[in-house]
Amino acid sequence: MNITKLPLFLLGSLLFLPTLHADEAPVEYKIKAGYLYNFTKFITWPKHNTKTFNICLLGNDPFGELINPIEQQSALEMPIKLIRLERLIGEPYCHILFIPSLKNLPPPQALTSTLTVGEGKEFAEQGGMIGFEHKEGRIKLQINLQAIKKSGLKVSAKLLEVSDIIDGEDHD
């Protein structure tokens, strides 16, 4: 490359860098939305008296409209319903509760038979059930077996095979 054109090339690259970086977030959350749906096939919930399979998003919703098509699917022979919550207040029952911030993680006894899913390595280590972790350029799953056992949920061996297992400690 001609040295006189190098500054122009670098300037052009810098102009496109924020756009390329911004496009990563939608892809990341499309993948995470896919995981949330697929968890419905690899987790067993106790029978609950609901007409819909509720996937709740607590607090700041990082998915936006990317997750909305999930409502065209079904789980456990029920239509999936997305519920965006500012805070947890008893109702509705959530089969899956996505918690984007560890500071919003409720105590385990508050969520009997609700699968808690969140972001970052610390999520599963601090008592969440499934954490999404960025590792080697991919989204990996971490599963806290203690938290899942306490909740009354059962996880498929197939899901455990593709996850990093966190032993989990008592966080009561």
CATH value at residue 159:
3.40.50
Q: Is residue 2 part of a domain?
A: no
- Weakest-pLDDT range from 61-65, 85-89, 137-141: 85-89
Instruction: Give the pLDDT confidence score for residue 11 in this predicted structure.
Output: 32
Evaluate if residue 45 carries a pLDDT over 60. yes
pTM for the whole structure: 0.80
More confident residue, 4 or 64: 64
Inter-residue contact 53 to 43 (CB < 8 Å): no
Which stretches within the chain are classed as H helix?
6-42, 121-125, 145-151, 157-161
Instruction: Give the pLDDT confidence score for residue 102 in this predicted structure.
Output: 67
Evaluate if residue 74 carries a pLDDT over 80. yes
Kindly state the percentage of the chain with pLDDT values over 70.
Answer: 76
The amino acid that residue 79 corresponds to is P
**What is the Cα–Cα distance from 33 to 43, expressed in whole angstroms?**
16
Render pLDDT for 107-162 as a digit per residue (tens, 0 to 9). Answer: 655 667 899 999 987 888 888 899 999 888 889 999 999 999 888 899 999 999 99
Domain, as residue range, for 115 = 15-166
Q: Is residue 10 part of a domain?
A: no
**What is the Cα–Cα distance from 154 to 44, expressed in whole angstroms?**
5
Handedness of CA 42, 108, 116, 167 (dihedral sign): negative
Rounded to 10 degrees, the C-alpha dihedral 107/155/125/96 comes to -50
Number of domains in the chain: 1
Q: Is residue 8 part of a domain?
A: no
Q: Is residue 65 part of a domain?
A: yes
> What is the residue-averaged pLDDT of the chain?
81
Q: What H or E segment, with its residue span, contains residue 84?
A: strand 78-85
Q: Is residue 43 part of a domain?
A: yes
Evaluate if residue 51 carries a pLDDT over 80. yes
